Structure 1
Amino acid sequence: MNLSVIASESPEPVLSIALPAALDGRNGTNRARGGHLQIAADTDVEAVRLWLAEYAGSPHTLRSYRKEALRLLLWATQALGKPLSSLTREDFLLYEQFLAVPTGDWADPARPRRGGARRLFDGPLSERSRHQALGIVSGLLSYLVSAGYLAGNPLALRRRTGAAARRTQRVERYLDHALWEHVLASIEQWPRVTARELQHHERSRWLVRLLYGTGLRASEAASAKMADFYQRRGRWWLHVIGKGGTEGEVPVSVALMADLARYRLFHGLAPTPSGGETGAAVMSVAGDPHKHLTPAAVYLIVKEVLRRAAEMLAPNDPAGATTLRRASTHWLRHSAATHQADAGTDLRFIQKNMRHASIQTTGIYLHAEDDRRHAETVRKQGETALPDS
């Protein structure tokens, strides 16, 4: 695989890649002919750029979608010798097999993670990751069909099979109540001898509580401002700008406001924020309120918190420690929704708190009924068990 076709991923354009003229898609066999083209694109790369531009306001989504578009464009042209606009359903069956076992330069650990010659995979994708990747690609193809660029979406023929198609979905990437309490307790055991250690402790302590208490995504926490906290009818709320620029309001508890007051007082600020503040809700390493963290920095801070918590737990609960090592920022969002559901919070309220477009999405956090069913079943089995003879 020749990865030199990738140039830098600068913000403008949103996709920098050069393909051979014979494979640029101008004559793709799946190109729509005779219709009214809704976009000004003659080649596959130009069409993909326009699709990616729709997500310019969502940096995290843009990075994820760009990664999948690059993988597909390079695989199609270099592995099959076909442009994206000539791919068939049979080709995508091969692509799904490839995602499960990317070989050679595609996943060469000797290649850097960044730059023009970087590897595009860290290894085989799990079933969940393959499903997500193909879902993103299917969204791209549907967009190009709607734009009059492609005649059809080959992935529209794909059906869900196996256990994933049969079982009721439940999110499993969350921390149970005991693990979450351990995470909070472990932070209080961090060393705080130097000013730097103390500052890092206070920021990490506040960040994980913010993510859990509001259900924010990493990108939302990174861009949040102090002024986004506001009071209405005596109650505190957080204004959130989420995926795709969608706005929402999240209730803020008295406990979380106390955590915010502690963080602000540490930095010499008034306990509660005012509407005129422009500073970040989570400050930079140096405590500069005018510098926001990046989503990547949010992710790394949370991973450190979870790693330290895992190390403390490992001697007595190795299984719990393994869970903490696997966990990441989004687990805190899942934990927030799951714990709200466990507490009996109305599903409609959880949907609004998580800013889900569909209440069906929110339903995946309902574990309490399964817990009750398990407890009742096991108890009944114990009552009817025959005594040992």
Structure 2
Amino acid sequence: MANRPQQLNLPPPRTYSRTEFAALRARVQGIPVAKIARLYFDSDATPYPDEPEQLERFLRTMRDDLVHLAILHGSPVLADHLRASIAKHGSARLARASLQMVEQASKLAVAAPLADHAVGLWFRPLVARHLTAAGIGTLGEMVAVANRRGGSWWRAVPRIGFGRARVIVAWLRRHAGTLGVTVSADVDAAAPLVVSGDAVVIGPASGQLAPLERMALPRALTGERGTNRAPVFPYIRARHDLDAVRAYLAGYAGQAATQRAYVRELERLVLWAIRERGVPLSSLTVDDCEAYKAFLAAPTAAFTGPPVSRTSGRWRPFAPGGLSADSQRYAVRAIRAAFDWLVDVRYLAGNPWRAVKDPRTVRRAQKMKIDRALPIDLWTRVRVFLADHSESFAPEGARWRAARALLLLMGDSGLRIAEAAAIRRPALDWLPADGDVPPTWLLAVIGKGDRERFVPVSGECITALQAHWCDRGLDFHAPDAGAPLVAPLVIPGTTKARRKFGLEAGKEDAKAAVTGEGTGMVTGAPMQEGYSVRGARGLNSWAIRQLLGHLTDLNESERRQLARTSPHALRHTFGTQSVAADVPLDVVQRIMGHASLQTTTTYVTAERRRMRAEVSKYHARLAGSGQT
């Protein structure tokens, strides 16, 4: 047994990354180790920049490993040369040329990129730092980001321009075999067609789609010589169709939601006309308009995609699944109105959409989803819970106070989410008692159709607003207070966010915004902007999730009701509970800003249904007790 040959399992040879090979070449060329550490290694990933002596030892070990492999697998001449150098100097002395031969002979030591490798192992420290700062720590995450964001993924990474992005994508594709993942084929490696700035050319043969603000058209399709152009003097300075569309949209500059909706409808039409029909907007005929109406019901795959940034190469004008019948009808009516305006200002000679009928839709008897309004007992429990958690001194206490202020503005005053997000302190006024009328806080709200209405605000809501303002470091009762009633406490560190909140020059303020240091808000920053509608919806969703997690004594019906509570459901809660409290319908109508009293009577119907349902339980109980 003792003389039987034994199988010796040797460990696999150590492998080295491209960065480490580059560092060894620099050392052979005589570059100081400290400089190599700064140039090739990230201080967050390795200790080498702070401890260059460790890098010195590592490079010596790496050199010896490569020499050993070269002796085993290289040519006899190279092996003899390396053995002689070791015998004379104790270790192999390598020059630039001999190192190159050693590398070629020791390919076993070349590491293969893997998905879980840190980006710092394969990319220069400067590039790796930018990637890591953008949340891209590994090669697998790098591929995932590129696939998710498309050809413009690099726009989200500071100082990674198109040229570097193209090199990175090509390298990732070369090593797809060892990474186990690959960059999708639709992630562009070629430069987009650019006319000026960031404008992308849209054409019949182009695979590009871009939103209105980044859109450019081939000269033949600009509409400068459109067949429907008016022959008389135009009232607007529009050389082509895009100028005319932008002139129309400029009329809605003060109505952000309306303007966004019209931008969406008109950019869809322009893209379709150029890509699918090959005609400019000012040459559309009735046949073209009918074809687009049919297209709205079933957009092609090239025009649909999941929601992404409007700067992404994967942006598409339609969401998957197409449009509902109501959305198709809205699109046709919005486009018809835009063409009417273009005719009125004598840019177009006529409106072909006048001959196109609206898509057929089902006439719904009741559009408002008032069944989502919270019952009075559940709404009361929600308010108590919000009040209790708003007294917390924990880090999340400030967020609870902001959420309470926002939810009470909608649930106690019937504000829409956009109104609650946009309202500012000067719109809120305190009125003293007048005879039998108690003192009241009154809010002047500009709602739909630019109609002004006055909304009473509850004392509990005022208390919540005061606490929220205290968190923001502002005086709610200051005579010159002009800030938004509800505003975010932490500002993201993005350039767009800093510009929005006026922080371009405040580096310390920007740092506080990113890290949330100190009070959790940007100190000394004038909070001139409140929540966006999207941000306010996010705060509402967070609060509802927290309520569902903490209110453990809810029954299944209450849990379902609370889970589907949207911001508009809180507005419906105010309407339903006001009617239940016998507030006159005309008063509820004025507070909620309904154009028609018929809309307000919907809440009466809802209250009667609830009354019938509740009383039927009582009658059923009486009938059951009589039988026994």
Per the TM alignment, residue 249 of structure 1 is displaced from its structure 2 partner at its CA by: 2.8
Structure 2 partner of 1:221: 420
Answer yes or no: is 1:114 the counterpart of 2:336. Answer: no
Give the whole-Å Cα distance in 2 for the aligned partners of 1:126 and 1:319: 29
Q: Is 65-74 or 317-326 further displaced after alignment?
A: 317-326
Structure 2 partner of 1:250: 455
Give the whole-Å Cα distance in 2 for the aligned partners of 1:29 and 1:105: 28
Map Cα deviations across residues 174-225 of structure 1 (whole Å, 9 max, x no partner). Answer: 6323265565466568699774211111111111111333333434333322
Secondary structure, aligned partner of 2:317? coil
Q: 1:238 aligns with which of 443, 456, 464?
A: 443
Secondary structure, aligned partner of 1:251? strand
Kindly tell me: are residues 152 and 351 of structure 1, through their superposed partners in 2, closer, same or farther at Cα, counting changes over 3 Å?
A: farther
Alignment check: 8 A CA contact 1:217 1:330 kept:
yes
- Aligned-pair identity in percent equals 30
Q: 2:410 aligns with which of 211, 214, 218?
A: 211
Structure 2 partner of 1:68: 265
**Aligned residue type for 1:290:** M
Structure 1 partner of 2:333: 135
Per the TM alignment, residue 20 of structure 1 is displaced from its structure 2 partner at its CA by: 2.0
**Aligned residue type for 2:409:** L
Q: Is 61-70 or 347-356 further displaced after alignment?
A: 347-356
Structure 2 partner of 1:353: 591
Alignment check: 8 A CA contact 1:76 1:83 kept:
yes
Give the whole-Å Cα distance in 2 for the aligned partners of 1:242 and 1:5: 35
Q: 2:220 aligns with which of 13, 16, 22?
A: 22
Map Cα deviations across residues 268-300 of structure 1 (whole Å, 9 max, x no partner). Answer: 666x63442123211322456624333221121
Structure 1 partner of 2:465: 260
Give the whole-Å Cα distance in 2 for the aligned partners of 1:190 and 1:241: 31
Structure 2 portions without partners, runs of 5+: 1-203, 434-439, 491-520, 621-628
Alignment check: 8 A CA contact 1:101 1:123 kept:
no
Give the whole-Å Cα distance in 1 for the aligned partners of 2:285 and 2:579: 43
Q: 1:200 aligns with which of 399, 408, 411?
A: 399
Kindly tell me: are residues 194 and 277 of structure 1, through their superposed partners in 2, closer, same or farther at Cα, counting changes over 3 Å?
A: closer
Kindly tell me: are residues 345 and 279 of structure 1, through their superposed partners in 2, closer, same or farther at Cα, counting changes over 3 Å?
A: same
Secondary structure, aligned partner of 2:587? helix
Structure 2 partner of 1:298: 536
Give the whole-Å Cα distance in 2 for the aligned partners of 1:70 and 1:154: 16
Secondary structure, aligned partner of 1:260? helix
Per the TM alignment, residue 53 of structure 1 is displaced from its structure 2 partner at its CA by: 0.8
Kindly tell me: are residues 374 and 281 of structure 1, through their superposed partners in 2, closer, same or farther at Cα, counting changes over 3 Å?
A: closer
Answer yes or no: is 1:366 the counterpart of 2:564. Answer: no
Q: Is 121-130 or 329-338 further displaced after alignment?
A: 329-338
Kindly tell me: are residues 323 and 89 of structure 1, through their superposed partners in 2, closer, same or farther at Cα, counting changes over 3 Å?
A: farther
Give the whole-Å Cα distance in 2 for the aligned partners of 1:21 and 1:347: 58
Per the TM alignment, residue 31 of structure 1 is displaced from its structure 2 partner at its CA by: 3.6
State the superposition RMSD in angstroms.
3.9
Alignment check: 8 A CA contact 2:223 2:240 kept:
yes
Q: Is 212-221 or 76-85 further displaced after alignment?
A: 212-221
With a CA cutoff of 8 Å and minimum separation of 6, indicate the structure with the bigger relative contact order: 1
Give the whole-Å Cα distance in 2 for the aligned partners of 1:284 and 1:98: 41
Structure 1 portions without partners, runs of 5+: 10-14, 384-389
Q: 1:38 aligns with which of 197, 216, 235?
A: 235
Per the TM alignment, residue 254 of structure 1 is displaced from its structure 2 partner at its CA by: 3.1
User: When the two structures are superposed, what TM-score results if normalisation uses the length of structure 2?
Assistant: 0.50
Structure 1 partner of 2:374: 177
Kindly tell me: are residues 17 and 338 of structure 1, through their superposed partners in 2, closer, same or farther at Cα, counting changes over 3 Å?
A: farther
Give the whole-Å Cα distance in 1 for the aligned partners of 2:552 and 2:224: 57
Give the whole-Å Cα distance in 2 for the aligned partners of 1:85 and 1:338: 49
Structure 2 partner of 1:12: none
Structure 2 partner of 1:58: 255
Map Cα deviations across residues 226-281 of structure 1 (whole Å, 9 max, x no partner). Answer: 232112344211123445765443222334323334434566666x6344212321
Per the TM alignment, residue 334 of structure 1 is displaced from its structure 2 partner at its CA by: 4.3
Kindly tell me: are residues 191 and 256 of structure 1, through their superposed partners in 2, closer, same or farther at Cα, counting changes over 3 Å?
A: closer
Kindly tell me: are residues 174 and 184 of structure 1, through their superposed partners in 2, closer, same or farther at Cα, counting changes over 3 Å?
A: farther
Give the whole-Å Cα distance in 1 for the aligned partners of 2:289 and 2:259: 22
Per the TM alignment, residue 114 of structure 1 is displaced from its structure 2 partner at its CA by: 2.9
Give the whole-Å Cα distance in 2 for the aligned partners of 1:260 and 1:153: 52
**Aligned residue type for 1:136:** A
Answer yes or no: is 1:80 the counterpart of 2:277. Answer: yes
**Aligned residue type for 2:454:** E
**Aligned residue type for 2:412:** G
Answer yes or no: is 1:100 the counterpart of 2:336. Answer: no
Alignment check: 8 A CA contact 1:310 1:320 kept:
no
Alignment check: 8 A CA contact 1:30 1:86 kept:
yes
Kindly tell me: are residues 332 and 376 of structure 1, through their superposed partners in 2, closer, same or farther at Cα, counting changes over 3 Å?
A: closer
User: Which structure has the larger Rg?
Assistant: 2
Give the whole-Å Cα distance in 2 for the aligned partners of 1:3 and 1:187: 51
**Aligned residue type for 2:277:** L
Kindly tell me: are residues 293 and 146 of structure 1, through their superposed partners in 2, closer, same or farther at Cα, counting changes over 3 Å?
A: same
Secondary structure, aligned partner of 1:366? helix
Give the whole-Å Cα distance in 2 for the aligned partners of 1:311 and 1:67: 38
Secondary structure, aligned partner of 2:372? coil
Secondary structure, aligned partner of 1:285? coil
Structure 2 partner of 1:387: none
**Aligned residue type for 2:592:** M
Give the whole-Å Cα distance in 2 for the aligned partners of 1:106 and 1:182: 46
Give the whole-Å Cα distance in 1 for the aligned partners of 2:573 and 2:293: 31
Answer yes or no: is 1:279 the counterpart of 2:517. Answer: no
Per the TM alignment, residue 321 of structure 1 is displaced from its structure 2 partner at its CA by: 5.5
Give the whole-Å Cα distance in 1 for the aligned partners of 2:593 and 2:569: 16
Secondary structure, aligned partner of 1:40? coil
Kindly tell me: are residues 54 and 261 of structure 1, through their superposed partners in 2, closer, same or farther at Cα, counting changes over 3 Å?
A: same
Kindly tell me: are residues 250 and 192 of structure 1, through their superposed partners in 2, closer, same or farther at Cα, counting changes over 3 Å?
A: closer
Map Cα deviations across residues 57-97 of structure 1 (whole Å, 9 max, x no partner). Answer: 22233223222221121112112222223334443443343
Alignment check: 8 A CA contact 1:307 1:324 kept:
no
Answer yes or no: is 1:336 the counterpart of 2:541. Answer: no
Q: How many equivalent pairs are there? A: 369
